[in-house]
C-alpha cells in the first residue's frame, strides 16, 4: 500500500506538467494609461505580436486593453498593490490574419477576454527627476477565441511623469509581455487513465484481487 501511495504521489506531481503544455506569448506597445482613485486603465496599446505572428514595422495586429481595481496598499508614486476587483484584460485582433486564425468573418476579433485573478503588483523600477518607470504585473484568467478557459501572466512597463500626471492623470506603456497557458484536455485524460490503470494493477498485486 505504501508503494502504491508513493507511485500515485509521483504521478500526481507530473499532472500539472502534462495538463498545461501550450503557451501563447504576445507583446504590446504604446497606448494611453490613465491613473485614478479607482485604479489604472490602459486603452489603445498596439498588439505587436501574437505567438509567431509579428506585426510589420509601423503596424499592429490589434490592441491590448486592461483595467485594475484601486490600490489596496502603497500608492501611485511609491509602488504598491492593486486590487483585481472589477478588473479586465482584453486582446483584440484586427486584419486578415485574425480572421484566418479565428475563422471569424469580420473585424475586430476578440482573441482573449479575461481579468486579473489576484493582487496586482505595481513596482517602482526607477525614476529620474520627473520621469518614473513602473512595472504592472499579475496573473490573468479568461476565455480564448476558441472558447477554452486559459490562465496566464502579464508584465507591463509603464512610464509616468510627475509634471504631467497632475494635469491629465495619464502615462504611457513602453512595452508589455503576456503569456497565456493553454490546457490540453487530451493529455490530461490520458494521464488520468494511466493513474487508474496503475492503481488497479497495484491493488491486484497487493491484495491478490
pLDDT band of residue 138 (cuts 50, 70, 90) is very high
Instruction: Reduce the DSSP state of residue 38 to 3 states and report it.
Output: coil
Residue 11 lies in a domain: no
Residue 170 lies in a domain: yes
Q: What is the pLDDT of residues 147-178, one digit of tens each?
A: 999 999 999 999 999 999 999 999 999 999 99
For residue 130, pLDDT over 70 is answered with yes
* Pairing outcome for strands 170-183 and 149-161: antiparallel
For residue 187, pLDDT over 50 is answered with no
Q: pLDDT averaged over the chain?
A: 86
Instruction: Look at residue 8 in the predicted model and tell me its pLDDT.
Output: 45
Q: For 35, how many CA atoms within 13 A lie in the half-sphere containing its CB?
A: 23
Cis peptide before 83 (omega within 30 of 0): no
Q: What is the pLDDT of residues 55-89, one digit of tens each?
A: 999 899 999 999 999 999 999 999 999 999 999 99
Q: Are 48 and 55 in contact (CB under 8 A)?
A: yes
Instruction: Look at residue 183 in the predicted model and tell me its pLDDT.
Output: 84
Residue 164 lies in a domain: yes
**Angstrom distances, CA of residue 178 to CA of 11, 26, 29, 98, 104:** 30, 5, 12, 18, 23
Residue 90 lies in a domain: yes
Residue 122 lies in a domain: yes
Give the range of the structural domain holding residue 113, as residue numbers without chain letter: 21-183
pLDDT band of residue 184 (cuts 50, 70, 90) is confident
Question: By percentage, how much of the chain surpasses pLDDT 70?
Answer: 78
Residue 209 lies in a domain: no
Integer Cα distance of 50 and 29 in angstroms: 13
When mean pLDDT is compared across 12-16, 139-143, 173-177, the lowest value belongs to 12-16
Residue 95 lies in a domain: yes
For residue 91, pLDDT over 80 is answered with yes
Q: How buried is 179 (Cβ within 10 angstroms: 0-12 exposed, 13-18 middle, 19+ buried)? A: middle
198 contacts: CB under 8 Å, gap ≥ 6? 7, 8, 11
Q: How many domains, the chain?
A: 1
Q: What is the DSSP letter of 87?
A: -
Q: Is the pTM of this model over 0.85?
A: no
133 contacts: CB under 8 Å, gap ≥ 6? 124, 125, 126, 127, 157, 158, 159, 174
Residue 178 lies in a domain: yes
pLDDT band of residue 35 (cuts 50, 70, 90) is very high
Amino acid at each position: 500500500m505504501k508503494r502504491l501511495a508513493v507511485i500515485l504521489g509521483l504521478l500526481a506531481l507530473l499532472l500539472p506538467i502534462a495538463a498545461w503544455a501550450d503557451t501563447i506569448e504576445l507583446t504590446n506597445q504604446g497606448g494611453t494609461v490613465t491613473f485614478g482613485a479607482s485604479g489604472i486603465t490602459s486603452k489603445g496599446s498596439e498588439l505587436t505580436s501574437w505567438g509567431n505572428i509579428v506585426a510589420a514595422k509601423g503596424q499592429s495586429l490589434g490592441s491590448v486593453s486592461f483595467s485594475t481595481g484601486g490600490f489596496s496598499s502603497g500608492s501611485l508614486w511609491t509602488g504598491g498593490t492593486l486590487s483585481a476587483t472589477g478588473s479586465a484584460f482584453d486582446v483584440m485582433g484586427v486584419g486578415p490574419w485574425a480572421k484566418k486564425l479565428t475563422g471569424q468573418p469580420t473585424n475586430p476579433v476578440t482573441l482573449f477576454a479575461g481579468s486579473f485573478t489576484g493582487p496586482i503588483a505595481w513596482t517602482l523600477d526607477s525614476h529620474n527627476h520627473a520621469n518614473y518607470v513602473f512595472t504592472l504585473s499579475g496573473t490573468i484568467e479568461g476565455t480564448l477565441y476558441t472558447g477554452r478557459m486559459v490562465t496566464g501572466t502579464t508584465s507591463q512597463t509603464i512610464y509616468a511623469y510627475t509634471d504631467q500626471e497632475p494635469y491629465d492623470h495619464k502615462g504611457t506603456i513602453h512595452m508589455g509581455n503576456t503569456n497565456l497557458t493553454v490546457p490540453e484536455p487530451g493529455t490530461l485524460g490520458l494521464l488520468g487513465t494511466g493513474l487508474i490503470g496503475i492503481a488497479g494493477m497495484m491493488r491486484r498485486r497487493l491484495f491478490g484481487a
